[in-house]
Amino acid sequence: MYEHFGNKLSNDTVVHVWKEKSTMTNVILDGYRTILSDQDVWYLDHLTVPWESFYLNEPTEGLPTQANPNLILGGEACMWGETVDPSDIDNTIWPRAAAFAERMWTSKETIDTFSMTQVEERLEYFRCSVLTERSVAAAPVKNLQARQAPPKPGSCYVQRRN
């Protein structure tokens, strides 16, 4: 809608930006509230995008000083169906969706204090102690892309003992 109508939309419109993140800048500069679904980084069906990229993608990064970051209401990680079926959807989505969720639910100032090792440890705990305990077939955290095999048999068991 925004690409077609631009700043002719009603002032109370919330614009869902699901293409390039750069589109969001124009939406904000025109004074609209927005939800970002950055197709370059936050699409879960892009199998070669690692969890670190989901986590490090700061929505306000690169905004000009005159853009109001408070107009960004949040974000969405999208999972399109062309690359999944019921047999691999869980391990395609997790843990990258968890990295995205922490990015969205945590302030930039707090995110900046975490080391990637701390984040990885939280994601590993979440995968092993929450997801797999609930029979969610989440992919291992240290995979190069979605759907890679666990590092070794019993890797969650070893983690829980430590």
| Structural domain boundaries in the chain | 2-161
pLDDT of residue 108: 87
Provide the residue type at 24 as one letter: M
Taking residue 123's Cβ as centre, other Cβ atoms within 10 Å add up to: 23
- pTM for the model stands at 0.84
Provide the residue type at 161 as one letter: R
Q: Which two tokens stand for residue 107?
A: 């302030």
pLDDT of residue 43: 93
Q: Backbone dihedral region of 80: left (phi > 0), alpha (psi from -120 to 50 degrees) or beta? A: beta
Q: pLDDT tens for residues 85-106?
A: 888 889 889 989 999 999 999 9
pLDDT of residue 52: 93
Distance CA 77, CA 87 (A): 20
- What architecture is the 2-161 domain classified under in CATH? Alpha-Beta Barrel (3.20)
Q: Which whole-number Å values give the CA distances from 144 to 4, 26, 136, 139, 141, in the listed order? A: 38, 34, 20, 10, 9
pLDDT of residue 60: 92
Residues of the chain with pLDDT under 70: 144-162
pLDDT of residue 47: 86
